[in-house]
A = this chain, B = another copy of it.
Amino acid sequence: MKNVYIIGVGLIGGSFALDIKSMNPSVTIYGIDKNDAHLKEALKLNVIDKSASLSDIADADLIIVAIPVDATVDLLPKLLDTVGENTLVMDVGSTKEDICLKVKDHPKRHNFLASHPIAGTEFSGPSAAIHNLYKGKTNIICEVEDTAFKLQEKALQLFQDLGMRIRYMKPKSHDKHIAYVSHLSHISSFMLGKTVIAKEKNERDIFDMAGSGFESTVRLAKSSPDTWTPIFKQNKTNVIETLNEYISNLQHFKSLMENENFDGIYQEMEETNHIKQILKGIE
């Protein structure tokens, strides 16, 4: 690999840039971003080597598309129109169905790999990019059989070098499952933050009384609306399903409280404590 293009030099794209550069010092990392300030910041922080534009990508060995998922759906066919036979184009979006569908019949579909690295923080922008973000994390790859053999190989080598675990899934299954373990968590967190902010007009009270438990549950409410609005839009049906189930569980808990059924409350918590075993693998 000589020329790597990162489209969207934020947390996700920038973190790929940092690790790829460390592992391959001879590679040139080009950054493309519609936000000029981000591009300058990424240069200044040495997240990228050079800034570039979409007209430069013909010589790319690898293009990582790390922009909001609606922008990815728009841009991906245009990228594939332009790239050479040996260019691997991969996305990193938190939804996979719309993206895969959009390029399904593109003559250069085999240049594309649909991926979703399950990694990130609640921060965004080039300054949020960190080394080793992907180490030990899962990367979900969809429709791998539609990517050319040698480009599959190039991608898998990169993920292996980054220390990632690979899982293969269909886009529909990905979007359904990820709605539960990621998208719902974000909504739960945003609405928790909203509920508390609305109540506590005097913010000093929140600050003084909130502990690490509150911080942990509302952490995701710091996430970027630019990233998350298009995710909820593309995964609308699944997200609404998770919300229905979550709200129904909360209503059941509330009715146990109202009926003073505290044995029921105890049981709800005891059964869910089982999450300990499940989470052991994540921590």
Contacts and interface: CB of A to CB of B under 8 A. Distances in A.
A75 interface: no
A236 interface: yes
B268 A208 contact: no
A247 B249 contact: no
A257 B229 CA distance: 10
Contacts of A191: 246, 249-250, 253, 272
A239 B256 CA distance: 12
- Is chain A's interface secondary structure helix, strand, loop, or mixed overall? helix
Contacts of A247: 247, 250-251, 254
Given A188-B217, A189-B217, A215-B283, 8 more contacts: A122-B213, A186-B213, A194-B249, A194-B271, A221-B269, A232-B257, A233-B260, A244-B254
A242 B208 contact: no
7 contacts: A120-B211, A185-B214, A188-B188, A191-B253, A223-B269, A225-B270, A233-B260
A103 interface: no
A192 interface: yes
Nearest to A199: B180
Interface residues of A, number: 93
A271 B192 CA distance: 13
Interface stretch (A22-30, A42-50, A141-149, A273-281): A273-281
A268 B190 contact: yes
B182 A211 contact: yes
Given A177-B209, A209-B138, A214 B282 contact: yes
B262 A199 contact: no
A9 to B, nearest CB: 21
A118 B209 contact: yes
